[in-house]
Chain A
Amino acid sequence: LALRRDPTPGLLRWLTPPPIAPPTNERASEDDRLRLALERERTRALELEAYAFRLEEARARLEEANVELEGFAFAASHDLGTPLRTVEGYAELLLIGHSEGLDPIGYDLVERLHQTTGRLRRYVHDLLVLSRMRPDPTAVTKVMAIGELVADVVSDLNLGQFGDVVVSGELPVVEVPPTPIRQALQNLIENGIKHNRSPRPTVTVRGETDGGLAVIWVGDNGTGIAERDQATVFDLFARGSDTQAVDGSGAGLTIARRALRALGGELWITSSSERGTVFTLAFPIRFRADLPRIAREPGEI
């Protein structure tokens, strides 16, 4: 078995060793059989090592491709956002300051231009946020009371005219990177109010600690998400089959799940027409870059 340089530049490949010839003598001694078994073991070990090497190589290439892809999403959204906002701004100026020069059809067209550009700008903004939302082992952590964070997010979102946000009981205090948890709570709370058709949309936030985990539930009093939509609700730009009238890019839940994963946690959904939609957020109370991912959903209180 030898490590040789593949003709492809930079690649090292294991070459398969020649097969071991079976013993010609039917009555091989015990020693010969042992030697043969030992050789086979050795070959197997070397083959395994070669597989591990190739696997590591593939993993490194995949990681590189991922970083490149995220870099591309970031650069594209960064460079598209400003011109889009500029077009939207000019359309606004036309509508507000120069509408007397437009006939009704012209006014309607500019209005559509303005709305479409605005929607596109929000997509681009969400892509930008998404491309930045990835695990960062060097992230700076902060001690944060989730209750205060929720109050802060609610005040920033200015949702008073659309509905209520109720915090039920004490919420955990955690030590995590602030951006992902804030982003996740913001998107889930905003979603729970704006995609909610009850007469007075209400979002209830509850939480507890479970061993080293913080578990937060963000639930709404809406009519739930259709079962056929639940599987795709975290997909990028997924729109529920009955949410066409609601403004938004459809990236909010994708961003929220990615944010939880950046905290070493996970985000789940349960939804029914009777009980509304509940999002469960579970993540380590103290952020550590090397914690294994959470795979199982904690039970509800």
Chain B
Amino acid sequence: MVPLILIIDDDADYALLLTIYLEQGGYRVATARSGLDGLQAALRLSPVVVTVDYRLPDLNGLEVCQELRASEATGEVPLILVTGNPQPELEEKARAIGVDGFFYKLDLTASAFLATVEQVLRRRFVA
């Protein structure tokens, strides 16, 4: 079965671009537009990777990642925090709560994004 990736991002245009890139890379994609919708979708769909935008209308990205880590069903899923602001402090906080990858929105290319996805998948399941 084709592995599914869940994108949590309230920016529909940016999420569509991520979706196209991921589909080109051979994944299936589901999207959620808020933190709470994302948490429910993660439980329902069992994605292989979840990408979480830092700025969401309800929870922030770190809170969503923390919730995902705390739940038994999603505790091991590789997480990528996606942000429009490259802050080392945010990256450190994200790593401390168990986020596997960090992606800066302005660096988006199909190959860079797919490489990050593959990197977190490898790190979780090969190491």
Interface centre among A74, A83, A86 (most CB of B within 10 A): A86
0/1 interface trace, chain A 57-79, chain B, CB 8 Å (1 if under): 00000000000000000100011
Counting chain B residues whose Cβ lies within 8 A of the other chain, the interface size class is 10 to 19
Bound form: Cα–Cα A85–B88 in Å:
21
Say yes or no for A145: interface residue by CB 8 A criterion: no
Residue A125 CB within 8 A of the other chain: yes
A88 CB to closest chain B CB (Å) equals 9
Shortest distance between the CB of A87 and any CB in chain B (Å) = 9
Cross-chain contact A128 with B13 (CB below 8 angstroms):
no
Cβ-based interface call for B59 (8 A) = no
A82-B11, A128-B85 in contact; A89/B106 too (CB < 8 A)?
no
Q: Is A286 at the interface (CB under 8 A from chain B)? A: no
CA distance A132 to B106 in the complex (A): 16
Please report the C-alpha to C-alpha distance between residue A132 and residue B90 in the assembled complex, in whole angstroms. Answer: 14
**Quick check: is B108 within 8 A (CB to CB) of the other chain?**
yes
> Quick one: given A82-B11, A83-B13, are A89 and B108 in contact (CB under 8 Å)?
yes
Given that A78-B85, A81-B105, A125-B106 are known contacts, is A86 also in contact with B20, CB under 8 Å in the complex?
A: no
Do residues A81 and B13 form an inter-chain contact, with CB atoms below 8 A?
A: no
- B11 to chain A: which residues have CB within 8 Å? 82-83, 86
Residues of chain B whose beta carbon lies under 8 Å from any beta carbon of chain A:
11, 13-14, 17, 20, 84-88, 105-106, 108
Which residue numbers of A lie inside 8 Å of B, CB to CB?
Answer: 74, 78-79, 81-86, 89-90, 93, 121, 124-125, 128, 132, 178-179
Question: With A81-B106, A90-B17 given, can you name 7 additional A-B contacts, CB distance below 8 Å?
Answer: A74-B85, A78-B85, A82-B11, A83-B14, A85-B108, A128-B85, A179-B88
